[in-house]
């Protein structure tokens, strides 16, 4: 894989990006998890990669990065991969939100995740931020998702977000259980003609 040095220079010039230290790079595992998937999926055509790790941001920070990165969505040859799992439920994650009106614990988790997925599909970063503030769902990639939703606001093109798959690592029925949820979405350009 080739790193797109031209885009790196452009992003660095904004003064908003920094290089990861070796310690952070060695502790971080998300890129290592995605590289084999990207290489397998993109086999054949040549491409350049611009890995960006998003840390903890305020909603204002998400908006600032969305404004910087949004115009890159206008080039239909660019592909963005934003990764996150969803709810980490259980005492070991310090998160045990349970809406008994939804049925079993796993059904409550699914309901909770679908509320978040609906907010994301709506494409409005403020709605997703409100959802997170209301439910405190333990979505690891909430900040990259927030950045991406803000990118949509700063693109000239119209996009549609659609979740295509959802699952949980286990179906919790007891407070002693735990699970992690997973969801996959695809973002497409809406034809404006």
**pLDDT tens-digit map of 119-138:** 999 999 999 999 999 999 99
Question: Above 90 in pLDDT, residue 28?
Answer: no
34 pLDDT band (50/70/90 cuts)?
Answer: confident
Averaged pLDDT, 143-154? 97
Output the pLDDT for position 74. Answer: 93
25 pLDDT band (50/70/90 cuts)?
Answer: confident
Question: Above 90 in pLDDT, residue 166?
Answer: yes
SS3 call for 146:
helix
Strand 159-168 relative to strand 179-189: parallel, antiparallel, unpaired?
A: antiparallel
SS3 call for 168:
strand
Counting beta carbons within 10 angstroms of the beta carbon of residue 105, is it exposed (0 to 12), middle (13 to 18) or buried (19 or more)? buried
Which residues partner with 64 through β-bridges? none
Q: Which of 84, 87, 92 is nearest to 111 (CA)?
A: 87
Query: Taking a C-beta distance cutoff of 8 angstroms, is the pair 37, 94 a contact?
Result: no
Separation CA 89–CA 71 (nearest Å): 36
Question: Above 90 in pLDDT, residue 170?
Answer: yes
Output the pLDDT for position 76. Answer: 83
For residue 84, give Cα distances in angstroms to 40, 47, 62, 173, 185.
Answer: 19, 23, 15, 24, 11
Output the pLDDT for position 192. Answer: 64
Model pTM score: 0.92
Residue 64's φ and ψ, nearest 5 degrees, are -60, -45
């Amino acid at each position: 894989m080739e790193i797109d040095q031209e885009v790196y220079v452009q992003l660095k010039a904004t003064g908003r990006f920094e290089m990861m230290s070796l310690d952070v790079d060695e502790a971080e595992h998300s890129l290592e998890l995605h590289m084999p998937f990207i290489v397998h999926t993109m086999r054949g055509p040549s491409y350049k990669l611009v890995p960006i790790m998003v840390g903890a941001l305020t909603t204002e920070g998400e908006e600032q990065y969305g404004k910087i990165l949004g115009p890159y969505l206008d080039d239909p040859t660019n592909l963005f991969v934003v990764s996150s799992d969803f709810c980490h439920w259980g005492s070991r994650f310090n998160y045990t939100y349970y809406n008994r009106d939804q049925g079993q614990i796993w059904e409550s988790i699914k309901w909770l995740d679908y509320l978040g997925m609906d907010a994301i599909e709506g494409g409005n970063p403020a709605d997703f931020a409100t959802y997170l503030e209301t439910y405190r769902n333990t979505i690891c990639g909430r900040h990259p998702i927030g950045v991406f939703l803000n990118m949509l606001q700063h693109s000239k093109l119209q996009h549609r977000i659609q979740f295509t798959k959802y699952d949980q690592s286990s179906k919790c029925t007891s407070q002693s259980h735990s699970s992690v949820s997973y969801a996959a979405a695809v973002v497409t350009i809406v034809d404006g003609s």
